[in-house]
Amino acid sequence: MTARLLSGPSTAAGAESLAGHRARLGDLPGRTDRAHLIGMIDAAGLLGRGGAGFPVGRKWASVAGRAKGDAVVLANGAEGEPLAHKDRVLMASRPHLVLDGLELAAEAVGARRTVLYVGSEHVDARIALERALAERAANRTSPLPRVPTMLVTPPVSYIAGEESAAVHFVNIGDPRPTTVPPRPYEKGVGGRPTLVQNVESLAHVALIARYGADWYREAGRAETCGTALVTVTGGARPGVLEIDLGTTVGELAEWAGVSASVGSPVLLGGYFGTIISGAEAWRQPLDPVLLRRAGAAFGAGVVAFLGDEACGVTTTARIMDYMAGSSAAQCGPCVFGLRAIADASARIATGQPRQDDLSRLRGWSQSITGRGACRMPDGTTALLASSLRVYDADWTSHQHHRRCAMRRGARVGA
């Protein structure tokens, strides 16, 4: 597995110092013109790593085109996805890579202010970034002009990392999404065009600026080039690692100590992601383009092995309850829809289904999609729909026979 972002000292050793960072990677190249750096990112084909997978170069170009030298860059390290750890590991171990990327972004889009937006629960990441900022202030070597950086720590919440919510929190302390348009790239922090970019994406840019687009494209084994950080859970050895895009789920299973013969379902992407059956999953390449074609998503780089022992219905019900509780409670279809989904799932999971619970779940998995200000309902219903597909027999058995196939047909509930 290619290590780029995580090459150098072990992530367990804590934050890499500025001296270590410079000795290993050298200084950033001098001032290049904006179009050149954005062109390099485009040529590299870097896709955003916050979950949506939007092309990074295109995003930067649209902010640069509007900003007239007064943009804001917000490095998004909220990482509210419960299964993901990769952003906090990156921030805690390679803070200078993130800050290099932030400086480059500020230069490329024409920003006078930058914001580090770091989930308040990611304590190691915050400390590492604060120290790194102090190191850089005391020992200024970057050829790029200095741009003030503000560290902002949103409260623990799933939705605080959504880009309009991040802007909203920085502006008025309310970490809830706003109605778009205007999107942050049009009107964001302080009303200025704002680039909201995930911290891993920024760290990749720090390397692309040094080594070029062709170098970036050397990694990657399928359609999409480059490496990515993934969080693997559910095996004997959970953790964060860097993979070549296109690495298969089966290879990760081996790395994580999951027995390949198990072939149990896998949750890809995170709580906004997709459950796919073990039979498909094992040879599935982790590649944003191929995953989309397969009806899944790379999302926030989560690969969660769900195992054969756990009941898929119960697992899904738990996630649905988490999502309903995480709704920002602003849009009706999300407020009422996610709660209805969570309650019906819980009834089915615990063996107390109402007669039409399962058919209503199927309906809601379609009818709530696209009806919120943000993508909360869409992501949640996509996960639900995939669970209804993969665990079809289990949902049916729970609903109609109150028996759990996972637990060898044992009756569920009282």
Residue ranges in contact with other proteins by CB under 8 A: 177-179, 318, 321-322, 324-327, 329-337, 339, 367, 371-373
Nearer to other proteins, 224 or 327 (CB): 327
How far apart are alpha carbons 9 and 16 in whole angstroms? 7
Nearer to other proteins, 95 or 337 (CB): 337
How far apart are alpha carbons 187 and 122 in whole angstroms? 28
Least distance from other proteins to the Cβ atom of residue 371, Å: 7
Q: Give the 3-state secondary structure of 332-375.
A: HHHHHHHHHHHHHHHHHHCCCCCCCHHHHHHHHHHHCCCCCCCC
Nearer to other proteins, 115 or 334 (CB): 334
Least distance from other proteins to the Cβ atom of residue 230, Å: 25
How far apart are alpha carbons 227 and 1 in whole angstroms? 9
How far apart are alpha carbons 393 and 399 in whole angstroms? 10
Task: Report the DSSP beta bridge partners of residue 410.
Answer: 404
Nearer to other proteins, 179 or 259 (CB): 179
Distance of CA 396 to the CA centre of its chain: 32
Nearer to other proteins, 11 or 178 (CB): 178
Backbone angles phi, psi at 339, to 5 degrees: -65, -40
Nearer to other proteins, 116 or 159 (CB): 159
Nearer to other proteins, 54 or 336 (CB): 336
Nearer to other proteins, 7 or 366 (CB): 366
Least distance from other proteins to the Cβ atom of residue 215, Å: 35
Nearer to other proteins, 109 or 331 (CB): 331
How far apart are alpha carbons 94 and 117 in whole angstroms? 16
Size of the chain, expressed as the number of residues it contains = 414
Least distance from other proteins to the Cβ atom of residue 331, Å: 4
Q: Would you tell me how many other CB atoms lie within 10 Å of the CB of residue 292?
A: 13
Least distance from other proteins to the Cβ atom of residue 408, Å: 27
Least distance from other proteins to the Cβ atom of residue 271, Å: 12
Quote the tokens at residue 161: 């990392």
Peptide bond into 181 cis (omega under 30): yes
Least distance from other proteins to the Cβ atom of residue 218, Å: 35
Q: What is the DSSP letter of 27?
A: P
How far apart are alpha carbons 149 and 132 in whole angstroms? 12
Beta strands 227-233; 239-244: pairing state? antiparallel
CB 168 within 8 A of CB 175: yes
With 0-12 / 13-18 / 19 or more C-beta atoms within 10 angstroms meaning exposed / middle / buried, residue 236 is exposed
Beta strands 227-233; 194-198: pairing state? unpaired
Nearer to other proteins, 222 or 340 (CB): 340
How far apart are alpha carbons 137 and 373 in whole angstroms? 39
Least distance from other proteins to the Cβ atom of residue 369, Å: 11
Least distance from other proteins to the Cβ atom of residue 178, Å: 7
Least distance from other proteins to the Cβ atom of residue 18, Å: 39
